[in-house]
Structure 1
Amino acid sequence: MANTKVAIIGGGQVAETKHLPSYSEIEGVEIVAVLNSNKENARQFALKNNIPGYYGDIHELLKKEQPDLVSVCTPNKYHYEHVTAALKAGCHVLCEKPPSILAEEAKEMMELAERKGVVLSYNFQHRFSLEARRIREEYRQGKLGDVYHINLSALRRSGVPGWGSFIDKDLQGGGPLIDIGIHMLDTAFYILGFPKVKKVTGKMFNKIGPYKSEGSFGQWNPEKYEVEDSFFGFIELTNGGLIQISTSFALNIKETKQLNAEFHGDKAGATLYPLEIYSDHKGELVSLVQEDMVEDHAERRAIHSFVRKCRGSAEEDIASGEEGFKIQTIIESLYKSAELGESIYI
């Protein structure tokens, strides 16, 4: 059987530390090319990682290499352009989060993948964690009961990225909400089976990033800081439930960072990190499930599942184009709410 040919679009840190190692573990997968807007950078990346082809133009890459799968690891602004080009060429596509900057673009990509009969997936790796899978299983079995409140946190005390384009609103579409908060948002909706949303309300702040120049994640130019440094939102579900999300690059909190999802049901509650399911009995906390998971490789499982799906494994559970569109719609609506100062109905 011929090898599965993979092309990497965007030769940066995410591609090198997540995508390449994950693909290299899969038998019969061959990385054939890398693309970078700067062809010399693509050449250097290819030499460093033993990749035979390198390009500065995606259409040239797709025509000459004819890859089976494409991983899109470019800045958010270019996801739509690169995903669309690969889908039109008949390639299966795995795109880094977020799907795009605009929900309409995510919808177009979803519909294009359906018309072409190819797989479109997004790399929401936290839904592939052992903790998320276990809570989802327990929730579906009814152990938590009616989950009516969820609290999501993706917070950094001093974690403005000092590299890449994370503070550039034009390239990224936003700050911590679209970068790290989106992970917990997807994980919660995955666990709950993607309940329908009624309306969202958001509030964002820009109190620290434009006035500092360094933090634990490196240095940045405050004059070029264009995104929110914290975002707080409410998502009301049609079933009456409520999701709260708090996310930040910079916020005066006690911990260095917080990354968690808490689920409150009428039978039990649960936390994602660390995994625990608990209830109350006569005023005393009762632990129903408590596990310290071994070192997890959720991002690798995400990519491995994507490859198996593309190879025809129907039962593979991936972050689909449709789910990506739903998450993108919520993100866009939260930003719109914060900008307008009013709730947005979906």
Structure 2
Amino acid sequence: MKIGIIGTGGIATNAHIPHYIAAGADVVAVMNRTRERGEAVARQFGIERVYDTVADMLANEQLDAVSVCTPNALHKDHVIQALDAGCHVLCEKPPAISEREADEMLQAAKRAGRTLNYGFHFRHRTDTQLLKRLIDSNELGHIYAATALALRRRGIPGWGVFTDKELQGGGALLDIGVHMLDLALYLMDYPKPVDVVGHVGQYLGTRPGVGLMGDWDADNFSVEDTARAMVTFENGASLFLDASFMANIGPKDTMNVELRGTAGGASLFPLTIHTEEHGALFDKTPAHLTLQDPYATQIRSFLEACRHEPSYEQAEQAVLLHQIIDRIYSQG
């Protein structure tokens, strides 16, 4: 398969390009708005052609699939351009910056008859997949409650455009909160939301301080550093979300999903199953898990999906995901 890369930042060079190559795909072209950066990445990976615009790359290459690794606000246009050109698309998270955009991308995928997947690599972890199999086997019963945590003590990225609302669309919610929110919904089989109570705010990001992920420009910090929400679903379940770039907590960071079911519960990182059996309470953990790079598994899964009938499942889920996110942002 011939692959094109749109955007050559760190996620492209660390997670997409090397794993396409390792999987046997042929990365033939990259596009970056800064040509010097595009040329440097092309030299690094032995990629033949570099383009300044998406339109030029799609017009001059016969591509089977494209990875979109650009800032969030550009996802929709780049994804739709690639789909309209007949390419399957793997777009980095978050899918978009609104429910409307996510739906436009879904409709474009259906018109083109091409698979549209999103870069939620936590889904592809070995422990996540084991828990998913347990849930699908009804080991936990009906999941009626979930908690999604994405917290950093002092974790505003000091590089890129993570603090620029115009390009990112949001802060802690769209950058890290979206990972654990999607993961919880994925494990719950993506129930339909019926009510969302949420809040986002700037509390610590707009003033200088200690940065564990580099220095950031507090004077131009235009996104939220905190997002919290409660979501209820059509099937009677509920979910609590807590996301923050900067929180006065003990751990350096906490990324986790906790689930409660009628037959058992689970905490994902590390994977622990909580059950009641034979009159006793048990906490069960795997004795051994063969760990795999989730980015590598994600790329292989995407390439395999491209070889079959087009899949719109992840694109449909993205609409529900952004429906929740939109409601959180709308409440301020």
TM-score range, shorter chain: over 0.9
**Structure 1: which 5+ runs fail to align?**
340-346
Paired position in structure 2 for 1:6: 3
Displacement of 1:135 after TM fit? Answer: 1.4
Displacement of 1:321 after TM fit? Answer: 1.3
Partner Cα separation in structure 1 for residue 52 and residue 95 of structure 2:
22
Of residues 121, 137, 143, the one that matches 2:117 is 121
Match of 1:85, SS? helix
Paired position in structure 1 for 2:150: 154
Deviations 1:224-269 (A, max 9, x none): 1111111111111112211001111100000111011000112211
The farther-off stretch of 217-226 and 320-329 is: 320-329
Displacement of 1:290 after TM fit? Answer: 3.5
Is the contact between residue 306 and residue 318 of structure 1 (CA under 8 Å) also seen in structure 2? no
Partner Cα separation in structure 2 for residue 39 and residue 143 of structure 1:
52
Of residues 200, 213, 216, the one that matches 1:217 is 213
1:5-154 to 2 correspondences below 5 Å? 5-27=2-24, 29-154=25-150
Of residues 295, 303, 321, the one that matches 1:307 is 303
Report the number of matched residues.
Answer: 332
**Structure 2: which 5+ runs fail to align?**
none
Of residues 315, 326, 337, the one that matches 2:320 is 326
The farther-off stretch of 278-287 and 128-137 is: 278-287
Is the contact between residue 275 and residue 292 of structure 1 (CA under 8 Å) also seen in structure 2? no
Displacement of 1:289 after TM fit? Answer: 4.4
Displacement of 1:213 after TM fit? Answer: 4.6
Displacement of 1:205 after TM fit? Answer: 2.4
Displacement of 1:138 after TM fit? Answer: 1.3
Partner Cα separation in structure 1 for residue 311 and residue 13 of structure 2:
24
Displacement of 1:38 after TM fit? Answer: 1.5
* Identity, % of aligned positions: 37
Distance 1:239 1:319, change over 3 A: closer
Distance 1:251 1:291, change over 3 A: farther
Displacement of 1:291 after TM fit? Answer: 4.4
Partner Cα separation in structure 2 for residue 320 and residue 22 of structure 1:
21
Match of 2:63, SS? coil
Of residues 239, 244, 266, the one that matches 1:243 is 239
Displacement of 1:283 after TM fit? Answer: 8.5
Is the contact between residue 305 and residue 317 of structure 1 (CA under 8 Å) also seen in structure 2? no
Deviations 1:30-84 (A, max 9, x none): 1111111112221122122211110111111111112111000000010011111
Displacement of 1:317 after TM fit? Answer: 8.6
Would you say 1:201 and 2:201 are equivalent positions? no
Would you say 1:226 and 2:226 are equivalent positions? no
Match of 2:269, SS? coil
Distance 1:165 1:159, change over 3 A: same
Is the contact between residue 202 and residue 334 of structure 1 (CA under 8 Å) also seen in structure 2? yes
Partner Cα separation in structure 2 for residue 146 and residue 129 of structure 1:
23
Counterpart of 1:15 in structure 2: which amino acid? A
Partner Cα separation in structure 2 for residue 239 and residue 163 of structure 1:
41
Distance 1:118 1:317, change over 3 A: closer
Displacement of 1:281 after TM fit? Answer: 5.7
Match of 1:121, SS? strand
